[in-house]
């Protein structure tokens, strides 16, 4: 019930295309869903996050879509660029749990020029 | 601000040796965390701390110990290194929840790559 399942494990997209990464969760107490971006040799960095009171959040080319009834959320990267090539992690957490995050397994994105 | 600083960046240990992974943050964050990252497995929480003097186990604590004597520092100790502890270790910190007690973003260091042979 604490798991967050992420797919696909790897993704190859052409420059200018749309990258879509999906996550699913079981615990309905989760109320914070961040996405982290990680470049080789670096730590994860927060990309964008959403709370379940909205169904979509957009920041530049990055959009989170959230489906509370299906217990799923996804990251969409519009106009994907080679510089977006990285590993992406979804995560989930719930208020009052001291900020502990449950991470998905990660998706390695390669954007081809 | 340097953010979260981890040392060393790389280390090779022999089975049975011990070592301490250092983590310090200069953002005055109350919460600190240790994760390990293994290929295809995401990040797993080892230990966490909600403030100086308070620590608790995460999902995979066996073989590790932590202490939190100051707000800034949160070292992770491996007492008897085993090959299964070969991994990349990340330290992170976050501030207290906001007005509604909601979780705040975690800030990560750049990791310690540890190999145990």
Token pair for residue A37?
Answer: 């971006």
Domain carrying residue A42: 4-112
C-alpha Rg value of chain B to the nearest Å: 14
- What per-residue confidence (pLDDT) applies to B110? 96
Q: Answer whether B71's CB lies under 8 Å from B52's CB.
A: yes
User: What are the backbone dihedrals phi and psi of residue B75, each rounded to the nearest 5 degrees, phi first?
Assistant: -75, 150
Distance CA(B79)–CA(A57), nearest Å, equals 44
CB B90 to CB A34 under 8 A?
A: no
Q: Give me the pLDDT at residue B39, please.
A: 83
| Beta strand B112-116 pairing with B10-13 | parallel
CB < 8 Å to B58, chain A: 100
Q: Is A28 on the interface with B (CB under 8 A)?
A: no
Contact flag A6-B109 (C-beta cutoff 8 Å)? no
CA distance A68 to A100: 20
Looking at residue A90, which CATH number applies to its domain? 2.60.40.10
pLDDT at position A97 is: 65
Residues facing A62 on adjacent strands: A59, A77
For residues B102 and B96, the answer to whether their CB atoms sit within 8 Å is: no
Instruction: Give me the pLDDT at residue B97, please.
Output: 65
For chain B, list the domains and their CATH numbers. 4-97 (2.60.40.10)
A15 CB neighbour count, 10 Å cutoff:
12
Q: Which candidate from A41, A46, A98 shows the least CB-CB separation from B50?
A: A98
Indicate yes or no: CB of A95 within 8 angstroms of CB of B103. Answer: yes
Q: Is A32 on the interface with B (CB under 8 A)?
A: yes
> Is B102 within 8 Å of A32 when comparing Cβ atoms?
yes
- Give pLDDT < 70 ranges for chain A: 1, 97
Structural domains counted in chain A: 1
pLDDT at residue A98, rounded to an integer: 76
Residue B111 touches chain A, beta carbons under 8 Å: yes
Rounded Cα gap, residues B33 and B58, in angstroms: 9
Instruction: Determine how many CB atoms are found less than 10 A away from the CB of residue B65.
Output: 14
Under 8 Å CB pairs connecting chains A and B tally to 68
Length of chain A: 113
Residue ranges, chain B, pLDDT below 70: 97-102
Q: Do A6 and B103 touch (CB under 8 A)?
A: no
* Pair of tokens at residue A111: 């954007």
Query: Which single residue is written with the structure tokens 């998905």?
Result: A104
């Amino acid at each position: 019930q604490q798991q967050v399942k992420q797919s696909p494990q790897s993704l190859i997209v052409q420059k200018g295309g749309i990258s879509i990464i999906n996550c699913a969760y079981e615990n309905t107490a989760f109320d914070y869903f961040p996405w982290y971006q990680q470049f080789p040799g670096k730590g994860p960095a927060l990309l964008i996050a959403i709370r379940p009171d909205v169904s979509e959040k957009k920041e530049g080319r990055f959009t989170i879509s959230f489906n509370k009834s299906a217990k799923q959320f996804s990251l969409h990267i519009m106009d994907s660029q080679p510089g977006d090539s990285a590993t992406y992690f979804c995560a989930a957490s719930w208020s009052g749990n001291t900020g502990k995050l449950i991470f998905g397994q990660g998706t390695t994105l390669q954007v081809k020029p | 601000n340097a953010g979260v600083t981890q040392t060393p960046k790389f280390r090779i240990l022999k089975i049975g040796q011990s070592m301490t992974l250092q983590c310090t943050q200069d953002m005055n964050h109350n919460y600190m965390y240790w994760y390990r990252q293994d290929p295809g497995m995401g990040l797993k929480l080892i230990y966490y701390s909600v403030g100086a003097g308070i620590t608790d186990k995460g999902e995979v604590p066996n073989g590790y110990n932590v202490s939190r004597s100051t707000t800034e520092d949160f070292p992770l100790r491996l007492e008897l290194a085993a090959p299964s502890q070969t991994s990349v270790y990340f330290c992170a910190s976050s501030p207290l929840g906001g007005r509604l007690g909601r979780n705040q973003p975690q800030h990560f260091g750049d990791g310690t790559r540890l190999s145990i042979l």
